[in-house]
């Protein structure tokens, strides 16, 4: 097992670095990363403090800082410390500016401006939180997407990710032996999608969950035969209603969400 320190430095919230770091680390097996986040780094004194911490705890450095002087200070400082340092933003901005024939504006966090898109995302997040695990079914037809699946199939994190992209998402649990809510069956506006996962992988995840909570793992919730029946029945119900099914066994939440967005776009194109 390999362990290393990853310093993530941003002049804004650091969300861009978080997404990229997750995408990169997914390509390396048996690696444990200790992340150190430095956000809202906006002046030279702050950069000095960050470099002092990097000196104490050397590691791999990635950053998104739009100010050229601060970027140069970071690069030179890391060079002196002999640690790898990657500027993830400015090379792209420079090439894009050259292509467009425009001078870029060095505005930290400008992607987080509170415009109409921002408020739509906030509204979508409120909707997700109010409609998690089958709650508030009375207005479920207002959703853009409804996810249906058994427990621990990433319905909630996928819903939250979709909300961050501006999509109102509800999720409804499939419980063996219980009928799905009539409000779900009657919904016409949303795209309803079944979420499934390999039973063995699902059992492994459920066992980890119960052990973290200090509960017994000797239950139908983790019995491979019972879990397999859950998965089979949930897929059958989705097929009976003509709902598409996504197997998330080997997919990240981001990949699942992107697949759903593609399905939404295809649906919209077909309605035009």
Structural domains in the chain plus CATH codes: 2-112 (3.40.50.2300), 116-271 (3.40.50.300)
Q: What is the pLDDT of residues 13-40, one digit of tens each?
A: 888 888 888 888 878 878 888 999 999 9
Residue identified by tokens 């690696």 is 31
pLDDT tops 60 at residue 10? yes
Please check whether residue 9 is in contact with residue 65, taking contact to mean a CB–CB distance below 8 angstroms. yes
Task: Using the Cα atoms of residue 33, residue 34, residue 40 and residue 42 in order, give the sign of their dihedral.
Answer: negative
Write down the pLDDT at residue 105: 64
Distance from C-alpha of 221 to C-alpha of 227, rounded to nearest angstrom: 7
Q: What is the pLDDT of residues 137-162, one digit of tens each?
A: 999 999 999 999 999 999 999 999 99
* Residue 227 backbone phi and psi in degrees, to 5: -65, -40
Tokens standing for residue 34: 């200790």
Residue 80, number of CB atoms within 10 A of its CB: 10
pLDDT tops 50 at residue 272? no
Task: Using the Cα atoms of residue 200, residue 202, residue 208 and residue 214 in order, give the sign of their dihedral.
Answer: negative
């Amino acid at each position: 097992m390999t362990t290393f320190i990853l310093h993530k430095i941003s002049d804004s919230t650091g969300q861009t670095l978080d997404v990229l770091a997750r995408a990169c680390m997914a390509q390396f097996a048996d690696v444990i990363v200790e992340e150190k986040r430095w956000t809202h780094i906006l002046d030279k004194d702050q950069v000095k403090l960050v470099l002092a911490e990097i000196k104490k705890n050397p590691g791999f450095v990635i950053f998104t800082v739009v100010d050229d002087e601060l970027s140069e200070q970071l690069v030179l400082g890391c060079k002196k410390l002999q640690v790898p340092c990657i500027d993830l933003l400015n090379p792209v901005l420079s090439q894009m500016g050259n292509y467009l024939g425009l001078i870029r504006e060095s505005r930290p966090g400008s992607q987080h401006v509170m415009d109409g898109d921002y408020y739509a995302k906030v509204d979508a997040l409120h909707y997700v939180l109010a409609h998690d695990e089958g709650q508030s079914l009375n207005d479920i037809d207002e959703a853009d997407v409804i996810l249906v699946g058994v427990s621990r199939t990433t319905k909630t994190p996928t819903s939250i990710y979709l909300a961050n992209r501006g999509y109102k998402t509800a999720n409804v649990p499939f419980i063996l032996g219980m009928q799905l809510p009539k409000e779900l069956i009657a919904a016409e506006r949303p795209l309803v999608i079944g979420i499934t996962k390999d039973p063995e992988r699902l059992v492994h995840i459920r066992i980890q969950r119960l052990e973290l909570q200090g509960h017994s793992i000797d239950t139908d919730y983790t019995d491979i035969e019972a879990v397999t029946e859950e998965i089979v029945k949930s897929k059958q119900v989705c097929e009976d209603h003509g709902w598409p099914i996504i197997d998330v066994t080997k997919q990240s939440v981001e990949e699942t969400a992107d697949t759903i967005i593609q399905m939404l776009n295809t649906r919209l194109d077909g309605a035009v």
